[in-house]
Each structure stands twice: as structure tokens, then as C-alpha cells.
Amino acid sequence: MPDAKTQYANTLDTPIEYLKGVGPQRAKILKLELEITTFGDLLEYYPFRYQDRTKFFRIADISEEDNFVQVKGRIQHIRKVGEGSKMRLEATLEDATGQVKLVWFKRVQWIEKQIQLYQEYIVYGRPSLFGRFFSIPHPEIEATQEATTNNSKLYPIYHSTEKLKRFSLDSKGISQLVKTILHQKIQYNPEAFSDTFCQKNQLIDRVTAYQHIHFPQTYPQLEAARRRLKFEELFFIQIQLLQKKQVRNDKYKGQVFHKTDLLTIFYENHLPFDLTNAQKRVVKEIYRDLKSGNQMNRLLQGDVGSGKTIVAFLSMLLCLSHQAQACMMAPTEILAEQHYNGLKEFADKLDIRIEKLTGSSKAAERRKLHEGLENGEIKILVGTHALIEDKVKFKNLGLCIIDEQHRFGVAQRAKLWDKNKQIPPHILVMTATPIPRTLSMTLYGDLDVSLIDELPAGRKPIRTEHRYDAQRLRVFGFLRKQIQEGRQAYIVYPLIEESEKMDYKNLMDGYESVSRAFPDVPISIVHGKMKAQDKDFEMQRFVKGETKIMVATTVIEVGVNVPNASFMIIENAERFGLAQLHQLRGRVGRGSAQSYCILMSDYKLSREGRKRLETMVKTNNGFEIAEVDMQIRGPGQMSGTQQSGIMKLQIADLAKDGEILKDARQAAQKILTQDPYFQQDENISIKNTLESVKLKQKVNWSDIS
């Protein structure tokens, strides 16, 4: 067996089979079941919970209410009962107050060799009452003198599997292997941070953190260990994101747009409403980027109806003041049409030529459009994926705005970037999908992030109510009253791929029942199986007010702006995710009238389903909703990071560790500002650790943004 210290520069890189008590067979099963191949992998396989072993029960005090108990006593009797596969081992443990029976149904022969009569033991397990006496089936048992060598009062519990248990690698077996590493090898582990850095950031050293995360004696020890290990994990993610951002700033320069002539004229003479403070703040942030000389790469987050479009237009005016052009790309023709109509209303006031390009644009229109773009007469172009076609050439593209950016791939965004060969255009990506702050700092950590976190004045909050199917007649009665007052309504049905036929039937059944309930009301129906032109035709009828109710699937989630639509019913609301419910609700409340969203469900609801509906009723704030969504689903499910393999966190939790993430990012920024190449003595260890982290991660950070 090679000597770990001499053969491996970093002991934690030592293959796991060289650990005492492992060997080839156990190493193989650890790799297959837990992806543990080195000492370091095992040390970073953290307990998922801890049993509090600080309290000892007197046997006489055990009650049926106790989930788990820890008792100390001497073994007085040992006997085997039954034969063959039905054999069990029974032992009687006695203290000064009474007796409790210990029972094992498996591994009887092995257990019998481990326990001795009249020896004192510490026993831990779940008590069961049989008649008048308690027994503890399959207890954890440890001789008192052995237990004193493990001073941990909080006992670690590790996830295991049935295959691992066959190799005696249950939670206790894994714990024993971790203990072996901590006792023998940990002194060869290099530290990532200097003493000075640890003191500044209130961190314990890594060796102590490993010891206390696995075998803490107190809760404060455990919390200090968790903070240190979470901080380190998040720190090295943030360092990489910030480095990437710095490299891009150094590599890509941007056109300098410092004039504000057009913006000032529009702001003083034509702006139809006052900007909110949040909108003003975001415009200033964008202006600072555009005049900096660096290429802007900014994410603009704003809840549904928060006024992102006017911010986009004001940003375009800064660019147009310098004889450059701007474009906006949207994921669907309906959304592109909506943006075009909204922006044209503003552009016409300044006599700025704006055009639209989608897949439906005719050949004759395209010829004129291409000519106008290349000679610079067209100042603003709004469209869909058609914008990235090779034929589309600009005279001087200065700003690209991408709406609902998560719907476009990296390659599609890169094609827009390539529309100006001389100097890359500035990029502003917009999303109405609220992203929790901790998630955006990680997923979009190399982008500058702007938030519009208040609604325009005059908008009334949408009233959201949860109703059960039995209350449908009352809901329909309220809907009729709204229609009589001149309003329009959406009725949304879920559409889930696995049961598309069933859901399609639900939609058609729903359409028929709505038609029966409102025989005198014109109704539209829209769903994903319709041809594009039929879908657009039905949507346009609703936009024009020709139909009063739209029965639809989630195709309206990101779609038309109908200020007169003030009522929404979401059927089977428990089947939707929180983010989707919030997006759907955003289709109403876009006018000055009071709007309503009714969430319909069955009485039977899962705990998570009830939590989602309660959250929707309680708040209209998209960022609050996103935080709850992340707590329910976890960051991986929300962002797709787990599925894509972009990021796998060992111990940090983006749903809970926002403060640690903020501290880690600030520390990373400070070091990169003061010592970007890690040349100072106290930062050499950070440089070395960063190199090894990059080798292990195999992360394509460009995929993140």
C-alpha cells in the first residue's frame, strides 16, 4: 500500500480504497452508490441531520410519546428465540430504575458476539410498548468505555442505501470511515484561506470545520462549521463569476453613448405618466453602463406590469442620440406584436422610424426593411428569432434588448451580438420571471442585475381568492357581474404533457360547461394543439373585445396585454407551480379597474399544494413568491441547474444561505479589487485552491448567463 503522504500531494485526493477499513469491494460500492472515490469526497459527504445525544433517559421515564431515547445500563440477560430465518436475539438492559428489552431480528449471530453480559452500554433507539413493558428493536449500542472516545454529543446521521448496508456501510459504518480520516490524515490537508482572511470573515479553519461538521459537541460548533464550509463553497463560485465578468469587461469595449438629447425631449414633452422611483434608478444604472466605454451586459428583472417596456425605450433613446440603432427580440409573434405597438406609440412622437420583423413578414416588406436597416433609416427593429437571420444587417447596431431571455439559447443571443462586426452592441436582457436574489447572484453572478420592484402608480393590486369546486356557482355568478360591467375574463386549464389527452378533454369539457353557463356571451378558446394562425385569430378577437371570455391553456402565460381583462379563473390551480401561477395572474390587473384571480381546487390538497395557494392569496410580490417557490422546490428545480449539471452544491443551500452568499461575494469582490492576480502572500492559498476547484468542477460558466 503506498504511503498517502508521499504519493499524493494532497491527502484528500487519495483513492478511497487506501483508507483503513475500505478496500476494493467497499470502494467500488461507495463509488457506484455515492460517487465517493477519494478521501476528500468522503469528508465532503456531510450528515443530513444530527441526533441529540446530550440527554439520557431513566428507563422508568420512557413513555409512548418519546420518538427516540438514549439510556445507559448493564446487560443482564441474553438469549436467542426461534430458529432459522425467524430467529431473534433478545437482551435485557437494566439501570437503577428499571429494565428495557433490546431486540434484533437481523444479523443475530454477529450482534451476539458484540455484546457481553454485565457490561455497561449506551443504547439509542425508538421505544415500542408491548403490554406493560418497553422494548427497543434494532437499537444502536456501544460499550460505555468505547463511547467516551467519541466526545460528540450531536450524533451524525448519513444517507445510506440498501446496497451500502449489505457492506456494513449504514450511517454508523460511514461515520466510522470519516472518523478514520479525521484521526489519521487530516493534517496533510492544505487550507484555502489565510489566518488573516479567516479572522476578517469570522471563519474557523477548515480542519476544525471538518471535525465539527461530522462530530460536533455543541450546536454553536456545528453552526460555525457549516458557515465556514458554505462560505468556502460559495466564495469560489463567486470568484469565478466575477473573474469572468472582469475578463469580459477587459476584452469587450462598448460604444460610448453619453448624450441624453432625445431622452430629455421625450421625458419632458411626451412621457404619458410619471416613472416610478425604481424605473428612474434602473435608467440611471443603464445610462452609467452605456457611457462607461465597456460593453453593457445587464439583466433587468421586473414583475409582470412593472413597466420594463418604457425603460427599454428610454435606453434605446440614449443609443439613438448617437446615430446608432436598437433592436428588441421577443420569443413569440404575439409578444413581438405587443412590444412593437407599445414602442411605436412612443417612437411616433419623436418621428423615429420603427419596424417589425417576424416569421410572418412578407418578402416585399423584408426587402424594404433590409434596405432601411443597412442605410440607417430604420432606427428601431422589433421582432422574433427572425432578427438573427444572416440577411438581417444593421448599419450600426448599438443596443440589443432581449425579452424573456430564458427562452433563447446562448447561440441565438451570440448571433445578435455578431450583428455589429466593429464593436459588440450593448446587451440588456429582460425577464418578468422573478428570480430570488440568492439565485440571481449565482446564476447571473457575472451580469449586472437591475430590479424594478414597484408597480406604476394607479395600478390596484389583484385580489386573489382560493375557492373549492363546490363554490363554482358563486364564482360564475361573480364572473357574470364582471362581464355585465364591461370586463373580460380568462379561464385557464392546466396542460401537463404526461396526460395531454386527459387534459385536452378537461379543456374541451370546461369549454362546453362555460358555454352552457354563459350561452349569451361570446367565448374564445386557445390551446397548444391549434394552428398558429387559428390561435392568433382567437387571441386577436379577444384583444379587440369581440369575445368576452377566453378559455385557454397556459399558452397565455406570456402573451397579450388586454387592459380590459380584469378577471381570471385558474382551474385545478394546485397542479400549477408557483412561478406559473404568478405569471398567469399577471395577465389581469393591467388596467385601472379592480382585478380578480380565483384559484379553483379540489378539497384534497397536498401540503405543498396548499402552501402554493396560500402564498398566492397572501401576496402579489413576485420576489416573495419566488423565494417561497425556491424553499418548496429547491434552487435546482427552479433554475434547471441540477438537470443541466451547471452547478452542484455540496453543503450550501441557495434557499437558506442568502446572508452567507452575500458575505462570500463581498469578500471575493474585495480580493479581486485589491489583488486580482493573487500575488500577495495571504492570497496564494486562494489561488492554489481556485486552480484545483476549476479542475474538479468541469463547469461551463458561459452556459450560466
Query: In this structure, is the dihedral angle defined by the CA atoms of residues 430, 431, 437 and 440, taken in order, positive or negative?
Result: negative
Based on the fold, state whether residues 8 and 43 are members of the same structural domain: yes
The string of pLDDT tens digits covering residues 209-244 is: 999 999 998 889 999 999 999 999 999 989 988 888
44 and 171 within one domain:
yes
Q: List the CATH number of the domain containing 315.
A: 3.40.50.300
Number of neighbours of residue 281 by Cβ within 10 angstroms: 15
Please state, in angstroms and as integers, the Cα–Cα distance from residue 155 to each residue in 74, 150, 414, 498, following that order: 22, 10, 52, 43
Three-class SS of residue 641? helix
Judged by DSSP in three states, 41 sits in helix
Which range (394-398, 546-550, 561-565) has the least confidence? 561-565
Q: Answer for the pair 620, 462: CB distance below 8 angstroms, yes or no.
A: yes
Strand partners, 128: 135
- Residues belonging to the chain: 705
Segment 271-280 shows an average pLDDT of 89
Average pLDDT over every residue of 579-603: 87
Cell of 444: 447571473
Residue 157 belongs to a domain: no
pLDDT digits (tens, 9 = 90+) for 152-183: 578 898 999 889 988 989 898 999 999 998 88
Give the C-alpha separation, 30 to 42, whole Å: 9
Residue 354 to residue 129: CA distance in whole angstroms: 80
Q: How confident is the model at residue 497 (pLDDT cuts 50, 70, 90)?
A: very low
Query: 328: closest CA among 434, 405, 237?
Result: 405
* Packing angle, helices 219-251 and 684-697, rounded to 10: 80
- State the residue for C-alpha cell 423565494: 627
Which residues are paired to 550 by β-bridges?
490, 524
**Domain boundary, last residue among 619, 636, 668:** 619
Mean pLDDT of the 42-60 span: 88
Which CATH number do you get for residue 64?
A: 2.40.50.140
How many structural domains are present in the chain?
5
Considering the chain, what percentage of its residues have pLDDT values greater than 70? 88
| pLDDT score for 642 | 40
What distance in Å separates the CA atoms of residue 526 and residue 506, rounded to the nearest whole number?
A: 13
Cα distances (Å, whole numbers) of residue 236 to 222, 313, 442, 702: 22, 37, 11, 16
Confidence of residue 411 (pLDDT cuts 50, 70, 90): low
The distance from CA 71 to its chain's CA centroid, rounded to whole angstroms, is: 43
Q: Is residue 412 over pLDDT 80?
A: no
- Residues with Cβ within 8 Å of residue 216, at least 6 apart in sequence: 50, 152, 153, 154, 222, 225
Q: Which of 4-8, 45-49, 312-316, 451-455 shows the lowest per-residue confidence on average (mean pLDDT)?
A: 4-8
Check residue 351 and give its pLDDT: 92
- pTM listed for this prediction: 0.66
Radius of gyration of the chain from Cα atoms?
32
Asked if 320 and 374 sit in the same domain, the reply is yes
Q: Which residues pair with 299 in a beta bridge?
A: 429, 449
299 vs 54: which has the higher pLDDT? 299
589 and 482 part of one domain: yes
Please name which of 29, 33, 34 lies closest in space to residue 17, comparing C-alpha atoms.
29
Q: With respect to residue 324, please indicate whether it lies within any of the assigned structural domains.
A: yes
136 domain residue, yes or no: yes
pLDDT for 526 equals: 86
DSSP category for residue 195: H
d(CA 630, CA 277): 28
Q: Tell me which DSSP letter residue 479 carries.
A: H
Residue type, 497: E
Q: Is residue 266 part of a domain?
A: yes
Pair (266, 383) in one structural domain = yes
Residue 100 phi, psi dihedral angles, 5° rounding = -140, 145
Structure letter (DSSP) for residue 129? E
Residues 26, 27, 28, 33, CA torsion sign: positive
What is the mean predicted confidence (pLDDT) over 252-262? Answer: 90
Q: Is position 647 within any domain? A: no
pLDDT confidence of residue 2: 44
Residue 700: Cβ-neighbour burial (10 angstroms; 0-12, 13-18, 19+): exposed
Residue 449 counted as domain residue: no
> 6 pLDDT exceeds 70?
no
Grid cell digits, residue 101: 428489552
pLDDT of residue 633: 72
Instruction: For residue 689, give its domain range.
Output: 211-251+659-703
Q: Nearest 10 degrees: CA dihedral of 309, 313, 315, 317?
A: 180
Q: Do 232 and 379 share a structural domain?
A: no
Do 82 and 36 belong to one domain? no
Beta strands per DSSP E along 539-695: 549-552, 565-570, 596-601
**pLDDT tens digits, 458-488:** 678 899 999 998 899 999 999 999 999 999 9
* Greater model confidence, 164 or 453: 164
75 and 25 in a single domain? The answer is no
Same domain, 36 and 175: yes
| End-to-end C-alpha distance for the chain, whole angstroms | 46
Predicted confidence (pLDDT) at residue 430 exceeds the cutoff of 80: yes
Grid look-up 439501570 returns: 95
Of the three residues 593, 619, 645, the one that is the final residue of a domain is: 619
Same domain, 414 and 504: no
Mean per-residue pLDDT, 575-590: 85
Write down the pLDDT at residue 640.
47
Q: Are residues 279 and 426 in the same domain?
A: yes
Structure confidence by residue, pLDDT tens digits, 628-684: 887 777 665 544 444 333 456 788 887 778 889 889 999 999 999 999 989 998 898
- 3-class SS of residue 450: strand
Confidence of residue 504 (pLDDT cuts 50, 70, 90): low
The whole-angstrom separation of Cα 564 and Cα 634 is 36
- Residue 233 — φ and ψ, nearest 5°? -60, -50
DSSP three-state, residue 69: strand
Which of the residue ranges 4-8, 183-187, 684-688 would you say has the lowest mean pLDDT? 4-8
Residue 454, in any domain of the structure: no
d(C-alpha 675, C-alpha 663), whole Å: 18
pLDDT for the residue numbered 705: 40
CA distance 78 to 70: 20
CA neighbor of 475 nearest in space, from 509, 518, 505, 538:
518
User: How many Cα atoms sit within 13 Å of 329 on the Cβ side?
Assistant: 25
Minimum mean pLDDT range among 174-183, 300-309, 403-412, 626-635: 403-412
As a whole number of angstroms, the distance between CA 689 and CA 686 comes to 5
Residue 11 has pLDDT above 90, yes or no: no
pLDDT recorded at residue 648: 66
C-alpha cell at 44: 465532503
Residue 112 near residue 78 (C-beta atoms within 8 A)? yes
How confident is the model at residue 701, as a pLDDT?
40
**What is the full DSSP assignment across 461-474?**
PPEEEEEEGGGHHH
What average pLDDT is seen over the chain? 84
Same domain? 589 vs 690: no
For residue 402, is it within any domain?
yes
- Give the per-residue pLDDT at 151: 54
**What integer is the mean pLDDT of 544-548?**
91
